[in-house]
């Protein structure tokens, strides 16, 4: 087993973490609104809208994210003969579509948990549908979905390691390369510490959000 030079390894890990945070940040930024849109489509009374959305949710939640990464990266070539798909872009597409499906079900659960009487009471008080949603319903939904959203965000931090299957530069790929070169598990341990730190930040952020929203019952 070769010795590991932490002085060289840590800067590489930090650069790899930059790739991990890029995948995490872009996925969260794009999947959150897409998930809300998908939830609205899933709850639509129009079958022409709800049925395709249900199919999308089933496919994305019922197949492995790793398989989806392969499909979106290699699919353009094998299906349309298009070469040179950008690895990072295809990675983000796969992650966003996958996590938006999970977020959609969380949103739907939160929206479905609000009693119908609150909508009726708001209408009786003269609130518009827009005012009702943003001032009365949405704050309560956010309060109720914060815990499951926190769990999904922690899963997202860990799932970013799957980006390596299409050779996207991120933390786990750096650790694997370093471990292969040195014949040591130390890079994996260091990577585990980095993931743990990131998820500690995520957990504390959502815990703080729960406290801030504590006045909604």
Domain that holds residue 190: 6-212
Residue 162: partners with Cβ closer than 8 Å, 6 or more residues away: 65, 66, 69
Q: Is residue 86 part of a domain?
A: yes
Residue 110 lies in a domain: yes
Region label for 128, one of left (φ > 0), alpha (ψ between -120 and 50) or beta (otherwise): beta
| Per-residue confidence (pLDDT) for residue 40, from 0 to 100 | 93
Supply the pLDDT for residue 115. Answer: 87
Q: What is the pLDDT of residue 35?
A: 96
Task: Please indicate, yes or no, if residue 217 is contained in any of the structural domains.
Answer: no
Q: Compute the Cα dihedral for 37, 155, 208, 18 and give only its sign.
A: negative
Cα 114 from chain centre: 24
CATH, residue 39: 1.10.3720.10
pTM: 0.90
pLDDT along the chain (217 residues), means of 10: 69 90 96 96 94 97 96 88 86 97 95 87 86 85 92 96 89 86 84 94 93 70
Q: Residue 82 domain-assigned?
A: yes
Domain tally for the chain? 1
| 101 lies in some domain | yes
Task: Give CA–CA dist 108/39, Å, rounded.
Answer: 5
- Is residue 52, in this structure, part of any structural domain at all? yes
pLDDT value at residue 217: 55
In this structure, is residue 1 part of a structural domain? Answer: no
Contact 163, 69 (CB under 8 A): yes
Instruction: Please report the pLDDT score of residue 107 as a whole number.
Output: 95
């Amino acid at each position: 087993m070769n010795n590991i030079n932490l002085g060289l390894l840590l800067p590489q890990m930090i650069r790899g973490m930059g790739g991990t945070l890029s995948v995490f940040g872009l996925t969260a930024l794009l999947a959150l609104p897409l998930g809300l849109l998908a939830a609205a489509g899933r709850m639509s009374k129009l079958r022409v809208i709800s049925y395709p959305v249900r199919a999308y949710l089933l496919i994305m939640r019922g197949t492995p994210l790793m398989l989806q990464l392969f499909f979106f990266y290699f699919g353009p070539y094998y299906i349309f003969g298009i070469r040179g798909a950008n690895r990072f872009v295809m990675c983000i597409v796969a992650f966003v579509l996958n996590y938006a499906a999970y977020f959609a079900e969380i949103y739907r659960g939160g929206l479905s948990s609000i009693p119908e009487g609150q909508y009726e009471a708001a209408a009786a008080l003269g609130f518009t549908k827009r005012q009702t949603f943003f001032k009365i319903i949405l704050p309560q939904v956010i309060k109720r979905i914060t815990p499951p959203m926190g769990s999904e965000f922690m899963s997202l931090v860990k799932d970013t390691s799957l980006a390596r299957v299409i050779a996207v530069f991120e933390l786990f790929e750096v650790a694997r390369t370093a471990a292969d070169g040195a014949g040591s598990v130390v890079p994996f341990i260091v990577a585990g510490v980095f993931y743990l730190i990131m998820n500690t930040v995520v957990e504390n952020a959502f815990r703080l959000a729960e406290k801030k929203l504590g006045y909604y019952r």
